[in-house]
Structure formats: C-alpha cells, structure tokens
C-alpha cells in the first residue's frame, strides 16, 4: 500500500504558522478541527499517524504529549529518548519513516497519515511522491510570526472534503477558512 501523506496546518495572511515555538492564535474550533481530522478513523481497531519534527514535538505541552489516540512519529537527525511514551516512534528522516509505514506489520496499526509540522517537514512532505493532500486553514488576519509555511506547489488543485466545513468561520472576531488542496501528480 502506498503511504498517502495528508498535511494539516493553519497559517495567517503572511503564511506564518508559529511564534516562539507556539501558535500565535488561540482558536478553539480550529484546534477541534485539527483533533477531529487527525484522530477520525473508519476502523475502530486502527489509529492515525501524526508525523512531526522534533521542535513541533517539543512544543506540545507535557500534559498533551503524546497526542492521544494517534501514533506519534517524531523526525529528528539527533537521537531522542521516546521510551517513556506509548505509540511514539522516532526516525532520522521522512524517507525512513515512509519505508516503515509501508511495512505490512505496521500497516495493520494505522489508517491515515497526517503531517503536522513544522516548516521543514511540511516542505519535505510536499516534495515527496507520497504527498496527497494539504488541509490548510487560512487565518484571515496578520499575526507576528517567526515560523512560516513553505511556498505551495503551483499545481495544487482545490478540492472539497465532506469532513471540512465550508465558508468563512469566525471565532473571537478572527475569520478563517478551511481549504483542501490535492496533489494532481499523486499516484495511488
């Protein structure tokens, strides 16, 4: 089975995604959307995989680590001690991670694969032959950010997904829109 990488992110007008290793905004409904999308499975015996870089892993508050009801994968070139966690794996590269996800034994454990950051991991994932979809919440406001989502590939096609709300959403006076883009070159 070919691994389909679904990327999920929220970015403001200037494509900022973070500030000081944190989210620059607090939107409860957007976080609920992220949680629902990355945990929902058809098969109750399987979980979804969330792939992240080490800095994203480090930014997760201790009480939420690892992200529950998901298989957490942390990519880092340096050694990480993840032995105190259940359902958490470390890999040196995205390529090594994908190879493991393609193994038959591992495929029995998961349903969908979500890439949740940061910038470098998003960029590498969009350049991968396994890049399938990008779920990008556009925050319709500028925020001061020091971390940015990489440039989107020119060939992405906007698509709809019945799981994704349509139209402009509003919370605390901040408007945002859920967008879904598909990579037309993905070969299933």
Place of tokens 């060939």: 155
Q: What mean pLDDT value characterizes the chain?
A: 96
Catalytic residue among 23, 80, 82, 152: 23
Please confirm, yes or no, whether 23 is among the known catalytic residues. yes
Tens digits of per-residue pLDDT, 95-108?
A: 999 999 999 999 99
Concatenated DSSP letters of 26-90:
--HHHHHHHHHHHH--SSTT-EEEEEEEHHHHHHS-GGGPSPTTEEEEEE-SS----TTSSSEEE
Tens digits of per-residue pLDDT, 12-60?
A: 999 999 999 899 999 999 999 999 999 999 999 999 999 999 999 999 9
Domain positions in the chain are 5-182
What pLDDT does 115 receive? 98
What pLDDT does 147 receive? 96
What whole-number distance in Å separates Cα of residue 82 and Cα of residue 61?
15
Record: fold of 5-182: Dihydrofolate Reductase, subunit A (3.40.430)
Please confirm, yes or no, whether 30 is among the known catalytic residues. yes
Q: Which of 132, 129, 141 is nearest to 172 (CA)?
A: 141
Catalytic residue among 30, 134, 136, 156: 30
Tens digits of per-residue pLDDT, 140-168?
A: 999 999 999 999 999 999 999 999 999 99
Q: Quote the pTM value.
A: 0.96
């Amino acid at each position: 089975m070919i691994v389909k990488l679904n990327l999920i992110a929220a970015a403001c007008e200037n494509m900022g995604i973070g500030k000081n290793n944190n989210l620059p905004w607090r939107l409860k409904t957007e976080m609920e959307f992220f949680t629902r999308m990355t945990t929902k499975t058809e098969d109750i015996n399987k979980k979804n995989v969330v792939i992240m870089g080490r800095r994203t892993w480090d930014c997760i508050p201790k009480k939420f680590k690892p992200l529950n009801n998901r298989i957490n994968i942390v990519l880092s070139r340096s050694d990480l001690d993840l032995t105190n966690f259940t359902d958490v794996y470390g890999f040196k590269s995205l390529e090594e991670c994908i190879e493991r996800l393609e193994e038959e034994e591992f495929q029995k454990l998961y349903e969908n694969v979500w890439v949740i950051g940061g910038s470098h991991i998003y960029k590498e994932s969009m350049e991968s032959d396994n890049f399938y979809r990008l779920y990008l919440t556009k925050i319709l406001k500028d925020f001061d950010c020091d971390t940015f989502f990489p440039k989107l590939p020119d060939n992405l096609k906007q698509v709809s997904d019945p799981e994704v709300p349509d139209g402009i959403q509003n919370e605390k006076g901040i408007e945002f829109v859920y967008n879904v883009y598909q990579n037309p070159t993905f070969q299933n």
